[in-house]
Amino acid sequence: MKRLIGALCLLALAGCSGLGGGKADTSLAADNWSTPGGDIGKSHYSTLTDINAQNAAQLGLAWAADLGTGRGLEATPVVIDGVLYTSGVAGRVYAYDAATGKALWRFEPAIDMQINRTACCDMVNRGVAVAKGRVFVVTLDGWMYALDARTGAVVWKSDAIEDRKKGDNSTGAPEVAGNVVVIGNAGAEYDTRGYVSAFDIDTGKLAWRFHVVPSDPAKGPQESKALEAALKTWDPKSRWDVGGGGAPWDAINYDPLTGYVLVGTGNGGPYATSKRSPSGGDNLYLSSIVALDAKTGEMKWHYQETPGDNWDFTATSPMILTDLTVDGEKRPVVLHAPKNGFLYVLDRRDGKLLRANALVRMSWANGVDMKTGRPNLTPQFSDYTNGPKLVFPATAGARNWHPAAYDPETGLYYATIQDMGNVIYTTGGQKPYQPKMLNNDAALLFTPDLQAIVPTLPPPMQKAITSLPKWDWVKKDPGGTELRAIDPLTGKTKWAYKMGGWQDRGGALATAGGLIFQGSVDGHFRVFDKKSGKILKDIDTGTSILAAPMTYKVGGVQYVAVMAAWGGGGYPYVPPYSAAYKRGNQGRILVFKIGGGAVPIPAELPALEPAPEAPKQAPGVTPATIAEGQTLFFGNCALCHSNQLRSITPDLRRMNEGTHKLFKDIVLKGLLLPNGMPRWDDRLTEADADKIHAYLIDLQTKTRAEELEKKKRGLPLDTPGLTILANY
């Protein structure tokens, strides 16, 4: 991306990068990496060339830092004047000497771990903002902190949650936009009404707040003209109690050219439009890009990528601001590939649609009408109101939070693209609202798993699934993920590298040195020739990587850094091919340079042993008790406790004697709350906890019996089961 504009932009951005109060740097990243995306447009591109195609084979470890966590790390660090700043689990912040790895300071915020009740996708955080000598971060429980960049001391603290009776939380990186710092909320699967909040950069005072969806009109006027207009696109009898969704949990970019904050908004809540807004409608401003005046929060334009979102097609994937020549005219554009499968090019001054190209197979739409900007919906393949449908792409998205890179030299967009679908269905009727609980009321089966699952199902269920429209797509290719180099104006792939599995979606870094850097969940950090896709260096780190790498220069040496650990959406389901499954999930920062050394690889985990013997059931436990416990478990516990081998959350089929004895204290009294295990005494009674415990004792007994038989036969315990147990 070229330098955006002259003096006007510099005035608008004054003090927004670097530790001083001088002019803002609106150019591409060089020695400094001033935002999580590198530059103000977040292109994830660097002009550094010291590491290049000629010497990439000499890349090795410069330094590493163990962050003491086994949970997800998704942030891309920021480097300013030789100091590396980054965030970790739940909003912890770290500062290191970027050349040596010496720890300078660490910020451990006090966090209400009860927030894990409403954090669908791990205790992750996607980064910090650095401006005017301060480091800004938002914690999982929604507190915005301004920290002194030299010491880590708290300068101010503000509450970024509007209503703490709801399931709101925060996982994104703050965005500095002139005199304010902006953050969105998460929690649309629960009971959130999405919003973004802007705080005065000096004082922390709330400057403005923009709500993504309308409030219940029975409660009075809307907060803005934009919401009054949006209200017309919702059923008057919508599920206002649930909140509507739209949480903008990522994808917030400040554009100094226009003075607008561009925000990618989230999915609807509940997922199904038929439940959320029974008479239909576009449901503005779900799954949209909205442009807000950075000074006032007033909406200037919007573009809805998925009208009436019915599939969890969030528009929260990272955006890139750059300049492109489109139809002979050079334009300031935003590049955006959301979950829904299209790659959009919009004029960022007015939201005009310039291009919309499909990147993957789709069954929800068959293109976009370039005159109206609306997708051509195909409800016969994707409307699951009256029964299951096989929808492409899946709710996991063709793209997700994993950052892409745009290279102005090649004109290519580098990103992991996921081509797969899922069976999605919902229950009949309307479920009652559950405060701070999952209210999406939909079930999903991802296509890469269906080939293994379907043969185990009763014949009528097998027939029902394999008879769904588009099943031939599953037979041909159940789906997977590729790192691709894409022409953003045509959607055409120039080269592609097949990833290890559908959960393997690491972020990308492009450089003027002719390289693409990317990590993968198998623990490999790879360097590609950006024009051909040829692998120039492959380093086995032994740690799963999902976050995007970044690069910087200190003391005449170029470094490349990446956060490493498995986590995020679906975090309990650790892929068997991942480094986290084989070697554990030791969260680290890894920093490389030319001539560096070998990466210390964590030891392989010991072989699995059969589940411990479970205690005897309490007197009076019956099959009916166990069945009730199973229902309670899946309604309250299963999202985090998938009971998968080598999950990063406890496998409750393998509880020891002490855990069994303390089971009710853990579940009801919050005995392990500091570790992130919330208490459930507001929802579960002692009798409920006993029923869940009975179910888990029964499950552990069955698991032990099967695993002992596997061991007797000389089979690894993580081979497919000898018998099909529905509870697995």
- Whether residue 651 lies in the annotated active site: no
What is the amino acid identity at position 619? P
The H or E element spanning position 261 is: strand 260-264
* 508-543 burial code (b ≥16 CB/10 A, e <16): bbbbbbbbbbbbbbbbbbbbbebbebeebbebebbb
- The string of DSSP letters for 65-98 reads EE-S--S------EEETTEEEEE-GGG-EEEEET
Q: What is the pLDDT of residues 457-486, one digit of tens each?
A: 788 888 888 999 999 999 899 999 999 999
Is 605 within 8 Å of 583 (Cβ atoms)? Answer: yes
Confidence tier at 140 by pLDDT (50, 70, 90): very high
Confidence tier at 726 by pLDDT (50, 70, 90): very low
* Closest of 712, 699, 711, 581 to residue 646, by C-alpha: 581
Average the pLDDT over each of 247-256, 495-504, 532-541, 635-644 and give the range with the smallest value: 635-644
Torsion of CA 124, 130, 135, 137, to 10 degrees: -30
- The string of DSSP letters for 197-216 reads EEEETTT--EEEEEESSPPP
For 474-504, the three-class secondary structure string (H helix, E strand, C coil) is HHHCCEEEEEEEECCCCCCEEEEEECCCCCC
Q: Check 250, 282, 309, 312 and give the catalytic one.
A: 312
* 119-146 burial code (b ≥16 CB/10 A, e <16): bbbbbbbbbbbbbbbbbbbbbbbbbbbb
pLDDT at position 108 is: 97
- Taking residue 293's Cβ as centre, other Cβ atoms within 10 Å add up to 16
Confidence tier at 7 by pLDDT (50, 70, 90): very low
| Residue 24 pLDDT exceeds 80 | no
Is 280 within 8 Å of 235 (Cβ atoms)? Answer: yes
- Beta-bridged to residue 355, according to DSSP, are 345
Residue 393: cis peptide before it, omega within 30 degrees of 0: yes
- Beta-bridged to residue 445, according to DSSP, are 423
Q: What is the pLDDT of residues 639-658, one digit of tens each?
A: 899 888 889 999 999 999 99
pLDDT at position 720 is: 62
Confidence tier at 718 by pLDDT (50, 70, 90): confident
Global pTM reads 0.94
What is the amino acid identity at position 208? W
Mean pLDDT value of segment 186-207: 96
Average pLDDT of the chain is 93
Q: How far apart are CA 219 and CA 457, in angstroms?
A: 48
Q: What is the pLDDT of residues 265-312, one digit of tens each?
A: 999 999 999 999 999 999 999 999 999 999 999 999 999 999 999 999
Place of tokens 């915005």: 144
Q: What is the pLDDT of residues 602-637, one digit of tens each?
A: 999 999 999 999 999 999 999 999 999 999 999 999
Q: HSE on the CB side for 474, CA within 13 Å?
A: 25
Place of tokens 């530790």: 19
pLDDT at position 656 is: 96
DSSP-based three-state secondary structure for 134 = strand
* Closest of 563, 527, 691, 601 to residue 51, by C-alpha: 527
DSSP letter at 372 equals T
pLDDT at position 2 is: 32
Q: How many residues does the chain have?
A: 728
Residue 582 makes CB contacts below 8 A (sequence gap 6+) with 604, 605
DSSP-based three-state secondary structure for 425 = strand
| Residue 722 pLDDT exceeds 50 | no
Average the pLDDT over each of 382-391, 452-461, 467-476 and give the range with the smallest value: 452-461
* Closest of 35, 16, 23, 32 to residue 126, by C-alpha: 35
Q: What is the pLDDT of residues 504-542, one digit of tens each?
A: 999 999 999 999 999 999 999 999 999 999 999 999 999
- Please classify residue 724 by burial: count the beta carbons closer than 10 Å to its beta carbon, then call 0-12 exposed, 13-18 middle and 19+ buried: exposed
Question: Helices H, strands E: what count in the chain?
Answer: 12, 40
Mean pLDDT value of segment 393-421: 97
What is the amino acid identity at position 14? A
Structural domains of the chain sorted by starting position, each given as residue range(s) with its CATH number in brackets: 7-594 (2.140.10.10), 623-712 (1.10.760.10)
pLDDT at position 456 is: 77
